[in-house]
Amino acid sequence: MHITPREQERLTLFAAAELARKRRARGALLGATEATALVCDEILEMAWDGVPLDEVIAAARRVVGPDELLPDVPTAVPRIEVEALFPHGSSLVHVEAPFGSPGTAVVSGSGDIELAPDHPRREIRVRNTGRRQIWLSSHFPLDQVNAALEVELGAAEAARYRLDIPAGTALNFPPGEQRTVTVVETGGDP
């Protein structure tokens, strides 16, 4: 049987969700991984059944109650995003605070915080040769980007660099656009 990478991910997620269901059935509290898997599994099934997106998001927040979680899970999982297949096609489902409001928040000090201090930086050109926009996230290795993105680095060099933007953010490259971006060396072995 041939299973695509997407189907393999779906089966892995289902297995993790089943683990969460078994633990919940015997009264065990859920950790971040199994609780997230359970919510994602329910989202994907609702989407498959054609439930409207806004109803999927609302229902996702009710899948796991706060009394079913280990301490600090709401803090560890402030949001869930999963690409779901609806009858009309794929959509990104974004669920903010899937387990309720976190009890505590991380507060940074005042002033600027230098990211990756002492790591070499350089400016390069990146061009989208494709017909669709491409998002490139903060920590994605430049040697593994979408083939439609032309990166002004050789393959070995690209493996050592990523975009110099804050973690969790991304840059959008519209079709045909070329722009100059700052990249930072990742450090360690590629």
- What is the model's pLDDT at position 100? 84
Domain with CATH 3.30.280.10 in the chain: 5-96
- What is the model's pLDDT at position 189? 53
Mean pLDDT by 10 residues, the chain (190 residues): 88 95 95 95 96 94 93 90 90 91 62 82 94 85 90 86 84 93 78
User: Which CATH superfamily groups domain 121-185?
Assistant: Urease, beta subunit (2.10.150.10)
Q: How far apart are CA 181 and CA 112, in angstroms?
A: 21
- What is the model's pLDDT at position 107? 60
Q: What is the pTM of this model?
A: 0.55
Domain with CATH 2.10.150.10 in the chain: 121-185
CB-count burial class (<10 Å; 0-12, 13-18, 19+) for 134: buried
- What is the model's pLDDT at position 108? 62
CB-count burial class (<10 Å; 0-12, 13-18, 19+) for 33: middle
Is domain 5-96 in CATH 3.30.280.10, yes or no?
Answer: yes
Q: How far apart are CA 107 and CA 7, in angstroms?
A: 39
Fill in the DSSP letter of residue 151.
E
Q: How far apart are CA 66 and CA 166, in angstroms?
A: 30
Residue type, 42: E
The residue whose two tokens read 């669709």 is 132
